[in-house]
Structure 1
């Protein structure tokens, strides 16, 4: 269980508007992007499955599988980001090596610094590449 300034996650309250804004921005940017992409992909899947004839069934199913996998990756990413503000996450050696952003040297810190989730980016990139190859193969078979 993660604690935030000694509080459980359910009872944690930001101390001011700046911290609340930072929390919302991180959530919207880093977690919401996966969900928005999955919802858009689900829209493509439903469009292909409902509007076109049976020849496009495989394309719709590929988009549906991509959407489900993006939702799963988004969920995993959201679980990892719970550590951003937790009390126990500030001692990682990886985060001690992070360079301060230009212009933010003497500013207040909000949790651990953001580091790009390289494994997540590679996973999404590989997943989309596989889907694009499948889609190209399906279109060429038509």
Structure 2
């Protein structure tokens, strides 16, 4: 397990030094971590709703949504680890760039393999959903 430091402090005791840094951290967390968690909660809610409101013929669809939620939450965990590494001292530049202004850590980049993983999961679940609907 990697133990990254943030301005020399462990993650649990790290405190942002100014409002701009705090805003940047929150924005990235809200955009990246929050989006995956909101999707997971929506999928779990849909699974429970389908299982509770519809008859037994629809249970497989509810279970499929539940499994998809669990798999996306696993990918969210990997994305969170990626974000933690981006802000660590190992990725933080020594000085800010005169041409780009203040640098917060590693330049923002989409976690490509995670995006591909989510895309494949959703595509597969849509195919399974269509198959399950035709079996009803």
TM-score for both structures, normalised by structure 2: 0.91
Q: Which runs of 4+ in 1 moved over 4 A?
A: none
List aligned pairs for 1:17-36, cutoff 5 A: 17-36=19-38
* TM-align CA RMSD: 1.6
| Aligned residue in 2 for 1:123 | 117
1:89 positional shift: 2.2
Over residues 93-113 of structure 1, what are the superposed CA-to-partner deviations in whole Å (9 max), with x where a residue is unaligned?
xxxxxxx9xxx9432111111
1:15 positional shift: 0.8
Which consecutive unaligned segments of at least 5 residues does structure 2 have?
none
The separation in 2 between residues aligned to 1:39 and 1:106, in whole angstroms, is: 37
1:136 aligns to 2:130 (yes or no):
yes
When the two structures are aligned, how many residues end up with a matched partner? 131
Which of 82, 92, 108 pairs up with 1:114? 108
| Aligned residue in 2 for 1:96 | none
The separation in 2 between residues aligned to 1:136 and 1:87, in whole angstroms, is: 47
| Aligned residue in 2 for 1:50 | 52
List aligned pairs for 1:84-99, cutoff 5 A: 84-90=86-92
| Aligned residue in 2 for 1:76 | 78
Which consecutive unaligned segments of at least 5 residues does structure 1 have?
92-99
Over residues 18-60 of structure 1, what are the superposed CA-to-partner deviations in whole Å (9 max), with x where a residue is unaligned?
0000000000001111100010011110111000000001000
